[in-house]
Amino acid sequence: MSILTQVEGGVATLTLNRPDRLNAVTEAMLDEIALTLRGWSVDPAVRCVVLAGAGRGFCAGYDLSGEGKETRAEPMRADEAAARMSIHAEIPLLLHRMPKPTIACLRGPVAGSGLVMAAACDLRIASRTVKFKLAFASAGRCGDPGGSYLLTRLLGAARAREMFLLDEPMLGDEALASRLVNRLVEDEALEGECAALAAKLASGPTAAFAAMKRNLNAAGVIALEESMAQEAAANAQISLLSHDANEAALAFMERRTPNFLGH
Protein backbone atom coordinates (compact mmCIF):
# COMPACT_ATOMS: atom_id res chain seq x y z
CA MET A 1 0.00 0.00 0.00
CA SER A 2 1.36 3.42 -0.95
CA ILE A 3 -0.10 5.05 2.16
CA LEU A 4 -0.74 3.68 5.64
CA THR A 5 -3.39 5.12 7.95
CA GLN A 6 -4.12 4.76 11.63
CA VAL A 7 -6.56 6.47 13.99
CA GLU A 8 -5.95 5.98 17.70
CA GLY A 9 -6.75 8.17 20.69
CA GLY A 10 -8.03 10.97 18.47
CA VAL A 11 -4.76 11.08 16.50
CA ALA A 12 -4.96 10.18 12.80
CA THR A 13 -1.62 9.31 11.19
CA LEU A 14 -1.07 9.14 7.44
CA THR A 15 2.25 7.58 6.47
CA LEU A 16 3.60 7.86 2.93
CA ASN A 17 4.70 4.30 2.23
CA ARG A 18 7.08 4.01 -0.72
CA PRO A 19 10.37 3.90 1.20
CA ASP A 20 12.23 2.35 -1.76
CA ARG A 21 11.43 5.56 -3.70
CA LEU A 22 11.92 7.89 -0.70
CA ASN A 23 8.11 8.14 -0.66
CA ALA A 24 7.97 9.99 -3.97
CA VAL A 25 4.29 10.49 -4.74
CA THR A 26 2.34 9.31 -7.79
CA GLU A 27 -0.99 10.56 -9.10
CA ALA A 28 -2.80 7.55 -7.63
CA MET A 29 -1.09 8.13 -4.29
CA LEU A 30 -2.11 11.80 -4.27
CA ASP A 31 -5.71 10.73 -4.95
CA GLU A 32 -5.56 8.44 -1.90
CA ILE A 33 -4.10 11.17 0.29
CA ALA A 34 -6.76 13.68 -0.76
CA LEU A 35 -9.57 11.17 -0.14
CA THR A 36 -8.20 10.26 3.30
CA LEU A 37 -7.71 13.86 4.44
CA ARG A 38 -11.15 14.83 3.15
CA GLY A 39 -12.71 12.17 5.37
CA TRP A 40 -10.61 13.01 8.42
CA SER A 41 -11.39 16.72 8.13
CA VAL A 42 -15.05 16.06 8.99
CA ASP A 43 -14.63 13.01 11.26
CA PRO A 44 -15.32 13.99 14.91
CA ALA A 45 -13.23 11.03 16.08
CA VAL A 46 -10.15 12.68 14.53
CA ARG A 47 -8.83 15.50 16.70
CA CYS A 48 -5.29 15.84 15.30
CA VAL A 49 -3.65 14.73 12.03
CA VAL A 50 -0.02 13.63 11.64
CA LEU A 51 1.69 13.31 8.26
CA ALA A 52 4.80 11.09 8.17
CA GLY A 53 6.99 9.10 5.79
CA ALA A 54 8.17 5.50 6.00
CA GLY A 55 11.89 4.78 6.02
CA ARG A 56 14.70 7.31 5.89
CA GLY A 57 12.90 10.15 4.13
CA PHE A 58 9.62 12.02 4.33
CA CYS A 59 8.98 12.58 0.62
CA ALA A 60 11.30 13.13 -2.36
CA GLY A 61 8.55 14.95 -4.27
CA TYR A 62 6.62 13.82 -7.33
CA ASP A 63 7.81 10.59 -8.93
CA LEU A 64 9.06 11.67 -12.37
CA SER A 65 9.99 8.11 -13.36
CA GLY A 66 6.48 7.49 -14.66
CA GLU A 67 5.92 4.58 -12.27
CA GLY A 68 2.26 4.37 -11.31
CA LYS A 69 1.17 6.74 -14.07
CA GLU A 70 -1.78 5.65 -16.21
CA THR A 71 -1.03 4.77 -19.85
CA ARG A 72 -2.74 7.06 -22.36
CA ALA A 73 -3.07 6.80 -26.12
CA GLU A 74 -2.56 10.57 -26.44
CA PRO A 75 -0.67 13.08 -24.30
CA MET A 76 -2.72 14.85 -21.63
CA ARG A 77 -3.93 18.31 -22.68
CA ALA A 78 -2.99 21.34 -20.58
CA ASP A 79 -6.58 21.87 -19.41
CA GLU A 80 -6.82 18.21 -18.37
CA ALA A 81 -3.56 18.48 -16.46
CA ALA A 82 -4.77 21.65 -14.70
CA ALA A 83 -8.03 19.95 -13.69
CA ARG A 84 -6.08 16.96 -12.41
CA MET A 85 -3.75 19.21 -10.43
CA SER A 86 -6.71 21.01 -8.85
CA ILE A 87 -7.68 17.72 -7.20
CA HIS A 88 -4.19 17.33 -5.79
CA ALA A 89 -4.21 21.00 -4.70
CA GLU A 90 -6.92 19.98 -2.25
CA ILE A 91 -4.24 18.28 -0.12
CA PRO A 92 -2.44 21.44 1.09
CA LEU A 93 -5.80 23.21 1.38
CA LEU A 94 -7.15 20.48 3.66
CA LEU A 95 -4.00 20.38 5.81
CA HIS A 96 -3.97 24.17 6.12
CA ARG A 97 -7.69 24.75 6.68
CA MET A 98 -9.15 21.63 8.31
CA PRO A 99 -10.61 22.50 11.75
CA LYS A 100 -8.06 20.45 13.67
CA PRO A 101 -4.29 20.70 14.18
CA THR A 102 -1.96 19.10 11.63
CA ILE A 103 1.65 18.02 12.23
CA ALA A 104 4.33 17.09 9.68
CA CYS A 105 6.85 14.58 11.09
CA LEU A 106 9.95 15.05 8.93
CA ARG A 107 13.25 13.28 8.36
CA GLY A 108 15.62 12.94 5.41
CA PRO A 109 14.58 14.38 2.03
CA VAL A 110 11.58 16.74 2.06
CA ALA A 111 11.29 17.92 -1.54
CA GLY A 112 8.82 19.27 -4.07
CA SER A 113 5.29 18.05 -3.39
CA GLY A 114 6.46 16.75 -0.01
CA LEU A 115 7.71 20.18 1.01
CA VAL A 116 4.42 21.80 -0.04
CA MET A 117 2.45 19.28 2.06
CA ALA A 118 4.74 19.88 5.03
CA ALA A 119 4.44 23.67 4.65
CA ALA A 120 0.64 23.35 4.74
CA CYS A 121 0.69 21.74 8.19
CA ASP A 122 0.33 23.77 11.37
CA LEU A 123 3.50 22.38 12.92
CA ARG A 124 6.65 20.86 11.40
CA ILE A 125 8.82 18.69 13.63
CA ALA A 126 12.07 17.54 12.01
CA SER A 127 15.02 15.33 12.79
CA ARG A 128 18.57 16.55 12.21
CA THR A 129 18.73 14.37 9.09
CA VAL A 130 16.17 16.58 7.33
CA LYS A 131 17.02 18.13 3.97
CA PHE A 132 14.56 20.54 2.35
CA LYS A 133 14.70 21.22 -1.38
CA LEU A 134 11.96 22.47 -3.66
CA ALA A 135 13.46 20.77 -6.76
CA PHE A 136 10.94 22.41 -9.10
CA ALA A 137 13.58 24.34 -11.05
CA SER A 138 15.65 21.17 -11.40
CA ALA A 139 12.60 19.45 -12.90
CA GLY A 140 11.80 22.37 -15.20
CA ARG A 141 8.53 23.07 -13.35
CA CYS A 142 7.20 26.15 -11.58
CA GLY A 143 5.85 24.38 -8.51
CA ASP A 144 2.84 22.69 -6.95
CA PRO A 145 -0.27 24.73 -6.09
CA GLY A 146 0.06 26.33 -2.67
CA GLY A 147 3.85 26.26 -2.52
CA SER A 148 4.53 29.90 -3.33
CA TYR A 149 1.76 31.11 -1.00
CA LEU A 150 2.66 28.91 1.96
CA LEU A 151 6.44 29.30 1.78
CA THR A 152 6.22 33.07 1.33
CA ARG A 153 4.13 33.26 4.49
CA LEU A 154 6.47 30.95 6.41
CA LEU A 155 9.85 32.26 5.24
CA GLY A 156 9.19 35.75 3.88
CA ALA A 157 9.29 36.82 0.25
CA ALA A 158 13.07 37.02 -0.18
CA ARG A 159 13.86 33.59 1.29
CA ALA A 160 10.97 31.91 -0.55
CA ARG A 161 12.16 33.34 -3.90
CA GLU A 162 15.66 32.10 -3.13
CA MET A 163 14.38 28.58 -2.50
CA PHE A 164 12.33 28.55 -5.70
CA LEU A 165 14.82 30.18 -8.07
CA LEU A 166 18.18 28.91 -6.81
CA ASP A 167 16.85 25.50 -5.76
CA GLU A 168 19.49 25.08 -3.07
CA PRO A 169 18.98 22.67 -0.15
CA MET A 170 18.15 23.83 3.36
CA LEU A 171 19.36 21.66 6.23
CA GLY A 172 18.02 21.31 9.75
CA ASP A 173 19.74 24.12 11.65
CA GLU A 174 19.01 26.64 8.89
CA ALA A 175 15.41 25.46 8.66
CA LEU A 176 15.01 25.98 12.41
CA ALA A 177 16.57 29.44 12.24
CA SER A 178 14.32 30.31 9.28
CA ARG A 179 11.27 29.04 11.19
CA LEU A 180 10.48 26.51 8.48
CA VAL A 181 10.46 23.93 11.27
CA ASN A 182 9.14 24.44 14.79
CA ARG A 183 11.38 21.90 16.51
CA LEU A 184 14.54 20.05 15.55
CA VAL A 185 15.30 16.80 17.38
CA GLU A 186 17.68 13.88 17.15
CA ASP A 187 16.55 11.29 14.62
CA GLU A 188 15.77 8.61 17.19
CA ALA A 189 13.56 11.06 19.12
CA LEU A 190 11.43 12.17 16.15
CA GLU A 191 8.49 9.75 16.43
CA GLY A 192 8.27 10.22 20.20
CA GLU A 193 8.27 14.01 19.92
CA CYS A 194 5.56 13.98 17.24
CA ALA A 195 3.47 11.47 19.17
CA ALA A 196 3.66 13.53 22.36
CA LEU A 197 2.62 16.73 20.59
CA ALA A 198 -0.19 14.97 18.73
CA ALA A 199 -1.53 13.45 21.96
CA LYS A 200 -1.41 16.86 23.64
CA LEU A 201 -3.33 18.50 20.80
CA ALA A 202 -5.85 15.64 20.51
CA SER A 203 -6.70 16.00 24.20
CA GLY A 204 -7.07 19.77 23.89
CA PRO A 205 -10.03 22.06 23.14
CA THR A 206 -10.38 21.23 19.47
CA ALA A 207 -13.32 23.60 18.90
CA ALA A 208 -11.09 26.42 20.10
CA PHE A 209 -8.24 25.12 17.93
CA ALA A 210 -10.54 25.25 14.90
CA ALA A 211 -11.36 28.91 15.62
CA MET A 212 -7.67 29.66 16.19
CA LYS A 213 -6.80 28.21 12.78
CA ARG A 214 -9.48 30.28 11.06
CA ASN A 215 -8.20 33.42 12.78
CA LEU A 216 -4.53 32.67 12.06
CA ASN A 217 -5.19 31.82 8.42
CA ALA A 218 -7.04 35.12 7.98
CA ALA A 219 -4.33 37.18 9.70
CA GLY A 220 -2.33 39.18 7.20
CA VAL A 221 -4.92 38.57 4.47
CA ILE A 222 -7.80 40.65 5.81
CA ALA A 223 -7.72 44.12 7.40
CA LEU A 224 -6.98 44.48 11.12
CA GLU A 225 -10.52 45.62 11.92
CA GLU A 226 -12.03 42.65 10.10
CA SER A 227 -9.60 40.29 11.79
CA MET A 228 -10.50 41.67 15.23
CA ALA A 229 -14.22 41.36 14.49
CA GLN A 230 -13.74 37.74 13.41
CA GLU A 231 -11.75 36.97 16.57
CA ALA A 232 -14.35 38.64 18.80
CA ALA A 233 -17.23 36.72 17.22
CA ALA A 234 -15.40 33.40 17.46
CA ASN A 235 -14.28 34.02 21.04
CA ALA A 236 -17.79 34.98 22.14
CA GLN A 237 -19.28 31.85 20.61
CA ILE A 238 -16.62 29.57 22.08
CA SER A 239 -16.72 31.22 25.51
CA LEU A 240 -20.51 31.21 25.83
CA LEU A 241 -21.56 28.06 24.01
CA SER A 242 -18.80 25.48 24.08
CA HIS A 243 -18.52 22.65 26.55
CA ASP A 244 -14.75 22.99 26.60
CA ALA A 245 -14.69 26.61 27.79
CA ASN A 246 -17.11 25.80 30.62
CA GLU A 247 -15.14 22.66 31.44
CA ALA A 248 -11.88 24.63 31.60
CA ALA A 249 -13.38 27.10 34.08
CA LEU A 250 -14.84 24.32 36.21
CA ALA A 251 -11.59 22.35 36.18
CA PHE A 252 -9.69 25.47 37.26
CA MET A 253 -12.02 25.95 40.21
CA GLU A 254 -11.78 22.28 41.14
CA ARG A 255 -8.00 22.19 40.61
CA ARG A 256 -8.04 19.28 38.16
CA THR A 257 -7.13 18.62 34.55
CA PRO A 258 -9.96 19.57 32.18
CA ASN A 259 -11.64 16.89 30.07
CA PHE A 260 -12.04 18.56 26.68
CA LEU A 261 -14.58 16.99 24.32
CA GLY A 262 -13.92 19.15 21.29
CA HIS A 263 -17.21 21.05 21.24
- Alpha carbon distance 207, 260 (integer Å): 9
What is the band of 73 on the pLDDT scale with cuts at 50, 70, 90? low
Report the C-alpha gap between 42 and 151 in whole angstroms: 26
Query: Model-level pTM?
Result: 0.90
Report percent pLDDT > 70 for the chain: 92
**Mean pLDDT for the stretch of residues 129-145:** 91
Q: Which residues pair with 184 in a beta bridge?
A: 126
* Per-residue pLDDT tens over the stretch 101-110: 999 999 999 9
Nearest-angstrom CA–CA distance, 194 and 230: 31
- Of the two residues 249 and 42, the one the predictor is more confident about is 42
CB environment 205-241: b (16+ within 10 A), e (fewer): bbbbbbbbbeeeeeeeeeeeeebeebbeebeeebeee
Position 238 scores a pLDDT of 83
Paired strand residues for 111: 133
**pLDDT tens by residue, 180-212:** 999 999 999 999 999 999 999 999 999 999 999
Region 21-28 average pLDDT: 96
